[in-house]
Amino acid sequence: LAKTTQPISMDSYEGQEVNITCSHNNIATNDYITWYQQFPSQGPRFIIQGYKTKVTNEVASLFIPADRKSSTLSLPRVSLSDTAVYYCLVGRGSNYKLTFGKGTLLTVNP
Amino acid sequence: DTAVSQTPKYLVTQMGNDKSIKCEQNLGHDTMYWYKQDSKKFLKIMFSYNNKELIINETVPNRFSPKSPDKAHLNLHINSLELGDSAVYFCASSQVETSDEQFFGPGTRLTVL
């Protein structure tokens, strides 16, 4: 499973766009990039997944450069309720098991 | 409607006791999982079941035994509890075993005294 590196924490303010970058230098050809969000005292929640270029859903966008060695989760106009830990995961395949790293604690300030 | 539910939410017990945590999903998913999140917030998979069959068994002490009576339920039984078992345990499910989109329960905070 590819190792991922993300910032430990980030601070932002309400209404700003937040970009969280994840490095995964040894990503394999068949690997997908998946992001999860975890609020305090709750289980993680799937946000978005992508393989290359750009993916967008109602919650976030995921940007993946051509070499796929990194990815950026973009949260548009964050609110206080977006304060959470965001995990970047890389991998795919049968008997797939999610491997969570330390994640990025995003704190949105008023 | 709760998609993935766990009981109890909190569990406080003494060392050496045996306890169980129950998990149920009403999503019609084929695969269920147990994860452990320790005090440092690392979340690690313990077990995975697909249609009541064990498919992933990480390096977990054999004091931990998952049981799946049907594909909507995956219970976790822990024998001879130790201090190091204190953690938050999350149950999750996914539509198929190869899906990266897993739906997590609210967690069970286990405290062993």
A 53-82 residues with CB below 8 A of B? Answer: none
Q: Do B42 and A100 touch (CB under 8 A)?
A: yes
Please tell me if residue A46 touches chain B, with a CB cutoff of 8 Å.
Answer: yes
- Can you give the length of chain B in residues? 113
pLDDT at residue A3, rounded to an integer: 82
Domain residue ranges of chain B, discontinuous segments joined by +: 4-112
Q: What is the CATH number of domain A9-94+101-109?
A: 2.60.40.10
Please tell me if residue B103 touches chain A, with a CB cutoff of 8 Å.
Answer: yes
Q: For residue B101, list chain A residues with Cβ-Cβ distance below 8 A.
A: 34, 46, 49
Domain at B4-112: CATH architecture: Sandwich (2.60)
Highest mean pLDDT among A28-32, A51-55, B47-51: A51-55
Q: Contact B20/B77 with Cβ under 8 angstroms?
A: yes
Q: For residue A71, list chain B residues with Cβ-Cβ distance below 8 A.
A: none
Please tell me if residue B60 touches chain A, with a CB cutoff of 8 Å.
Answer: no
d(CA B67, CA A48): 31
pLDDT at residue A1, rounded to an integer: 56
d(CA A28, CA A49): 15
Mean pLDDT along residues A5-33: 94
What's chain A's average pLDDT?
Answer: 90
Please tell me if residue B99 touches chain A, with a CB cutoff of 8 Å.
Answer: yes
Q: For residue B107, list chain A residues with Cβ-Cβ distance below 8 A.
A: 41-43
pLDDT at residue B112, rounded to an integer: 97
Q: Nearest CB to B98: which of A41, A45, A96?
A: A96
pLDDT of residue B42 exceeding 80, the answer is: yes
Q: Contact B103/B28 with Cβ under 8 angstroms?
A: no
Sheet containing strand A32-38, edge to edge, reads: A9-13, A104-109, A84-91, A32-38, A45-50
pLDDT of residue B106 exceeding 90, the answer is: yes
pLDDT band at A68 (very low <50, low <70, confident <90, very high): very high
Distance from CA of B18 to the nearest CA of A (A): 24
pLDDT digits (tens, 9 = 90+) for B52-79: 788 777 778 999 999 999 989 999 999 9
pLDDT at residue A96, rounded to an integer: 57
